[in-house]
């Protein structure tokens, strides 16, 4: 296993001395110049970090930079080993590390350690997330969608920065109001604006934790990432069965998409999970899966329809299920399939908040079918069947009732009828 350690060039120096990163592996050694300098009196040899003392106020930022260099070096070594299928030579590591760290680290000394700009640190935040240096709360790497979302927010901030000075000290009420208005003018939905603000809040937490930001306005109630229940639909059991009964044998690619969607309707799994079911997850009459998004372990009984689908694909694919395709493509195909179902050609009034205003429009139900409709349909249908909500949450993997109820598409009238049925059953039991 490779070792990564920091050492001072001269630990007995009377002035600032360079910090070198030593990378050792199987008898080979690279001494890498970090471009960082420190006086030995501020250096903790045991922790290989700057001492956080009054006379060295930038210690937290300084240590953050050192951690970034070390983490990047580890990532470079791992990537080169995988790519070359051998241990990389010291010069190969140096060349790759130089490339990775280009323009991301300054050569400032201890007393004049330069803070990265707001956008410069945002770029580093994205790179750390992409390289696996920064991990999720559950210790996993961020998926491609998260990285894409960070890059989208970065690009939008670059556009906004042409008319507003972006710096940690300028992230105030004025910034919030102007940035939200900037997004509203582009007709972004309220939830989409909220996602942008949430990413900025996440980045500012990162910047604060690493000593780059001291402006806490982003934690105030005025810096709110709005989120309202978006308009969505579910398919009832009759509609799911009608979708399942369509003859798609002449278009095998649509048939596979339809069958995979039906699996989602009867398992309640997210797209990232029902498209990634492995043979090891199938245990008799049950699916046993650790969900990708939350890391929750769920056990789901295999519905008879899912068993039919698995029998259909048994000798064609290792997991006896159709292969996955990208989410965007699957959504497009689902609409092609759903519009063949007569019951999904009914009109639905859609209300969204866009550009800060409520917008009402009418669409046909098939136009609103997406991969996520499967999970929402499962939760709603099982809930309406009378299955206890708490038990259902164990299957869907929801940690809070609030999050779970967002998936339940039950009208006030249906809830009233559900309560009436409950009371009638209670009366029958008493009599």
DSSP sequence for 289-311? EE-TTT--EEEEE--HHHHHHHH
Domain layout of the chain by residue ranges: 1-114, 117-228, 237-427
- Largest Cα span, the chain: 94
Cα(107)–Cα(16) distance, rounded to whole angstroms?
13
Question: Given this model, what pLDDT does residue 110 score?
Answer: 39
Backbone angles phi, psi at 5, to 5 degrees: -135, 150
Q: Quick one: the chain helix, strand, coil %, rounded to 5?
A: 50, 15, 35
- Binned at pLDDT 50, 70 and 90, residue 109 comes out as very low
Question: Given this model, what pLDDT does residue 107 score?
Answer: 40
Q: 20 pLDDT exceeds 80?
A: yes
Helical (H) or strand (E) element with 193: helix 190-209
- Binned at pLDDT 50, 70 and 90, residue 281 comes out as very high
Cα(9)–Cα(22) distance, rounded to whole angstroms?
11
Helical (H) or strand (E) element with 358: strand 357-364
- Residue 62's alpha-carbon distances to 21, 22, 228, 344, in angstroms, are 14, 18, 41, 60
Task: Please check whether the two domains, 117-228 and 237-427, share a CATH topology.
Answer: no
Q: Comparing 46-55, 112-121, 228-237, which segment has the lowest mean pLDDT?
A: 112-121
- Residue 45's alpha-carbon distances to 60, 72, 149, 287, 348, in angstroms, are 16, 21, 39, 51, 67
User: What are 359's strand-pairing partners?
Assistant: 352
Condensed to tens digits (0 to 9), the pLDDT of residues 67-108 reads: 889 988 998 898 899 888 888 999 999 999 988 887 454 443
Q: 389 pLDDT exceeds 60?
A: yes
- The stretch 388-393 carries a mean pLDDT of 88
- 115: nearest Cα among 190, 64, 188: 64
CATH class of 237-427: mainly alpha
**Which one is the CATH code of 117-228: 1.10.3470, 1.10.10, 3.20.20, 1.10.150?**
1.10.150
Question: Given this model, what pLDDT does residue 211 score?
Answer: 85
Cα(180)–Cα(188) distance, rounded to whole angstroms?
9
Q: Which two tokens stand for residue 64?
A: 């953050």
Better-scored residue on pLDDT, 425 or 374? 374
Q: Which two tokens stand for residue 224?
A: 């709110």
Condensed to tens digits (0 to 9), the pLDDT of residues 31-44 reads: 999 989 999 999 99
Q: Are 395 and 300 in contact (CB under 8 A)?
A: yes
Cα(160)–Cα(166) distance, rounded to whole angstroms?
9
Q: Comparing 38-47, 227-236, 271-280, which segment has the lowest mean pLDDT?
A: 227-236
DSSP sequence for 72-97? HHHHHHHHHHHHHTSPPPHHHHHHHH
- Binned at pLDDT 50, 70 and 90, residue 429 comes out as low
């Amino acid at each position: 296993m490779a070792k990564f350690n920091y050492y001072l060039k001269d630990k007995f120096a009377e002035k600032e001395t360079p910090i070198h990163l030593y990378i050792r592996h199987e008898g080979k050694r690279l001494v890498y110049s970090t471009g960082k300098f420190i006086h030995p009196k501020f250096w903790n040899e045991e922790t290989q970090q700057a001492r956080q003392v009054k006379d060295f106020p930038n210690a937290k930022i300084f240590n953050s930079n050192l951690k970034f260099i070390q983490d990047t070096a580890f990532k470079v070594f791992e990537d080169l080993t995988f790519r070359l299928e051998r241990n990389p030579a010291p010069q190969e590591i140096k060349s790759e590390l130089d490339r990775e760290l280009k323009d991301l680290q300054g050569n400032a000394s201890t007393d004049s350690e330069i803070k990265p700009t707001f956008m410069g640190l945002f770029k580093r935040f994205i790179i750390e997330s992409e390289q696996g240096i920064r991990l999720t709360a559950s210790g996993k790497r961020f998926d491609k969608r998260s990285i894409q979302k960070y890059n989208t927010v970065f690009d939008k901030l670059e556009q906004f920065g042409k008319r507003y000075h972006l710096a940690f000290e300028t992230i105030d009420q004025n910034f919030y109001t102007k940035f939200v208005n900037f997004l509203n003018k582009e007709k972004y939905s309220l939830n989409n604006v909220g996602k942008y603000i949430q990413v900025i809040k996440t980045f500012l937490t990162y910047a604060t934790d690493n000593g780059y930001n001291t402006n806490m306005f982003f934690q105030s109630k005025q810096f709110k990432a709005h989120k309202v229940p978006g308009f969505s639909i579910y398919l009832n059991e009759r509609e799911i069965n009608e979708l399942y009964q369509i003859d798609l044998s002449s278009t095998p690619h649509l048939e596979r998409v339809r069958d995979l969607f039906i699996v989602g309707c009867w398992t309640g799994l997210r797209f990232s999970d029902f498209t990634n079911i492995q043979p090891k997850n199938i245990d008799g009459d049950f699916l046993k899966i650790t969900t990708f998004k939350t890391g929750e372990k769920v056990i789901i009984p295999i519905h008879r329809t899912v068993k039919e689908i698995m029998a259909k694909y048994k000798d064609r694919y290792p997991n006896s299920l159709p292969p996955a395709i990208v989410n965007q493509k699957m959504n497009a195909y689902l609409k092609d399939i759903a519009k063949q179902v007569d019951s999904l050609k009914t009109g639905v009034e859609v209300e969204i908040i866009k550009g800060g205003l409520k917008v009402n429009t009418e669409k046909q139900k098939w136009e609103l079918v997406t991969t996520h409709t499967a999970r929402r349909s499962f939760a709603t249908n099982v809930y309406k069947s009378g299955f206890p909500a708490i038990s259902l949450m164990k299957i869907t993997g929801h940690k809070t009732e609030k999050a779970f109820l967002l998936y339940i598409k039950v009208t006030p009238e249906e809830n009233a009828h559900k309560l009436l049925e409950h009371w009638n059953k209670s009366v029958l039991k008493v009599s």
